[in-house]
Amino acid sequence: MYYIVIREKKDQDTPALSEVVRNAYLSNVSHSWQNALFSEVTFQMIIITSALLFIVLGVPLLYCLIAIPIVIFGTYILIYGTVLMKVAQLLYEKKELKCWVAEAYEPLFFTKNPKGCWYKILTSEEFQNQEKPESCRKKIVGTVSIMKHFQREDWAWLFRLAVDKSYRRKGIALKLVKVVQEWCSDNQFNNIELVMTECQEGARQLFDDAGFEIKQLYHKKLFTSAVTLQMFQLRCTVRRIF
């Protein structure tokens, strides 16, 4: 049996945690890019670029079609760079109040694809009562953090939820969120809020299952209006009622 243990972050976890967050957010780049390709602004950029090539540089009209791959490639670079900046902000600018990691326990010479394996997901307290696997390797495959809300002292802000692509759809993210909710409830936080984008596939269902509700919809520009993302601000109540 393979285990995934949810525990509090240690200082030595930082490099592995950073890699998980970076890879998880970059996995959404392709979806964001595909959405951007069919936006009205992208077609306008192709027309403007073609006009500049023809009028300013004197490129023959037929060769102005090169504007299409230029804009497509440029849009991808723009989105990729924006996501990298977002990852850097999450890792180095936002000050976490608490952070947890999901750590996989696997055999030393593990050659199977994790997607096809079944894992038992436990908290560190629950794992104490289990028979410990021998000669295993440990690998951080997920993480989540919270910080104090920027408007309310008794609210928490959930961020940096990420799971390694090979370990998704196993319930890891939901377990991480449940651990956050339990901790916030025990530490006098009444509500938890977060923001997610339309490109975070599967996240909507995850947060629905965790009891979050949509409180606000808005669009966020990436550098310019050439690329925008629909944002969802979600909230759940964790205050205990006696």
* Residue located via tokens 């009622």: 241
Number of folded domains that form the chain: 1
Domain presence at residue 31 = yes
Q: 3-class DSSP state for residue 167?
A: helix
Domain presence at residue 134 = yes
Domain containing 117: what range?
A: 2-237
pLDDT digits (tens, 9 = 90+) for 21-38: 999 989 888 887 887 787
Note the pLDDT of residue 213: 92
Domain presence at residue 208 = yes
Is 239 exposed, middle or buried, given 0-12, 13-18 or 19+ CB atoms closer than 10 A?
exposed
* Alpha helices by DSSP H, 132-237: 172-186, 203-209
Note the pLDDT of residue 95: 87
Q: Which amino acid is at 123?
A: T
Q: How does DSSP classify residue 169?
A: S
pLDDT digits (tens, 9 = 90+) for 95-111: 899 999 999 998 888 88
Burial profile 175-197: b = 16 or more Cβ within 10 angstroms, e = fewer: bbbbbbbebbeeeebbbbbbebe
Note the pLDDT of residue 21: 95
Domain presence at residue 242 = no
CATH for 208: 3.40.630.30
pLDDT digits (tens, 9 = 90+) for 203-236: 888 999 999 998 888 777 665 555 666 788 999 9
Average pLDDT over residues 153-161: 94
Average pLDDT over residues 177-198: 92
Q: What pTM was computed for the model?
A: 0.85
Note the pLDDT of residue 142: 96
Band (134; pLDDT cuts 50, 70, 90): confident
* Alpha helices by DSSP H, 56-194: 67-88, 124-127, 172-186
Is 162 exposed, middle or buried, given 0-12, 13-18 or 19+ CB atoms closer than 10 A?
buried
